[in-house]
Structure 1
């Protein structure tokens, strides 16, 4: 039973009491971006070393994410990341790319989990039981931690891509479909890291066609 009012570690603690520990949380970043990779992360936290301030990475400031990322990396039992590049996202489609990324991240954990919590939708093929949680990145500490690791990792990748493709402004919008990004995409056409499974990328290529 999950005891109400026990905070974001309540789910992990209940599962451990039921003999299902270690419990991993898994989440991704970049599903909605039209450029760059999708990044998935899996995290097993140590309930004895709680991290204050864990939350959905999207509601945290960049500074808070970086600070929490450092604490997660130093205090977690295990952390793993999987990067699904743009070309593979195109080949698989975004939902399958998401599933593949999450499976790979969980499979790369140095400590094998006995249960996995995921954000939003179920992930099959993990080899252990799992539970999809609505707003999991806000209510389960391990999923929040995974969302932060995925987001910080992906943001760093996109900042690095900005040095190669400065005309697109990846360091600012991280490949998401902002108006600034679309204007650059229409002007310069798609780069090697744009995702052709997005209609706006295909349209921009047509605009650039001689």
Structure 2
């Protein structure tokens, strides 16, 4: 059948295939006498290989969750935060609970994703999650209790904003004190655990959007660009215009004291 079609027509068929049909068409196309059609077979084979690699990567990101399921846990929450290091704005934490069979293509540590991809996954995660919660701690509280305790506070707020309390927590490189939930601290967990990766995206996108709103309030600081981090331009703006109510005074003692 395909030998009677031109390359454009074949490409139209290939572009509408389901993944489970790829092998069948690869075998047909690679035996076509036309070199241009054989190239389509190679392209389709590469696409199938990429899909399989992504499936393996995602399955590897579910190892810690699967260990939890084997231990009898069913409501597993992955936690991560965004904004521990900036000079301004809140620290934001998120917790995400996914079902055991959830697959989210392209999910990864938020820092490894483009802005466009993070925004896309933000909506997909919220749609696919069984439950999610977000906790926000502002700059005043960060100054009062320090950034580490503020981060723990944001994580607790995120947990409290869930519909149900998790029976197990996977946390990126941290353990939350004074909570009665079993937890597992995972170094670089945002690239090793699907639920932590999901939380990292929710936290990052939420915080970035907050900083973009602050940009319209304090346009001279360019918060939309650097999100409150200590760039050269940000320090220069502070020296020119002073600090704002959203700056973390505890992070800027040398400037405030004139050192």
Provide the TM-score with structure 2 as the length reference. 0.75
| Native 8 Å contact 1:25 1:117 kept in 2 | yes
Q: What's the CA shift string for 1:55-86, capped at 9, x where partnerless?
A: 11111111111011111010000010011000
1:119 corresponds to 2:172? yes
- 2:182: which partner in 1? 129
1: distance between equivalents of 2:218 and 2:108?
31
1: distance between equivalents of 2:194 and 2:178?
23
1:179 corresponds to 2:222? no
Alignment coverage as a number of residue pairs:
203
- 2:253: which partner in 1? 202
Residue 12 of structure 1 deviates from its aligned partner by 0.9
1:26 corresponds to 2:79? yes
Task: State the secondary structure of the residue aligned to 2:94.
Answer: strand
1:98 corresponds to 2:151? yes
2: distance between equivalents of 1:104 and 1:125?
13
Task: State the secondary structure of the residue aligned to 1:131.
Answer: strand
| Native 8 Å contact 2:249 2:256 kept in 1 | no
| Higher RCO structure, 1 or 2 (CA under 8 Å, sep 6+) | 1
Mean alpha-carbon deviation: is it higher for 136-145 or for 104-113? 104-113
- 1:75: which partner in 2? 128
- 1:162: which partner in 2? 215
Runs of 4+ in 1 over 6 A off after TM superposition: none
Task: State the secondary structure of the residue aligned to 2:249.
Answer: coil
2: distance between equivalents of 1:183 and 1:46?
47
Q: CA RMSD in A?
A: 1.6
Where do 5+ consecutive residues of structure 1 fail to align? none
Where do 5+ consecutive residues of structure 2 fail to align? 1-55
Task: State the secondary structure of the residue aligned to 1:163.
Answer: helix
| Native 8 Å contact 1:189 1:204 kept in 2 | no
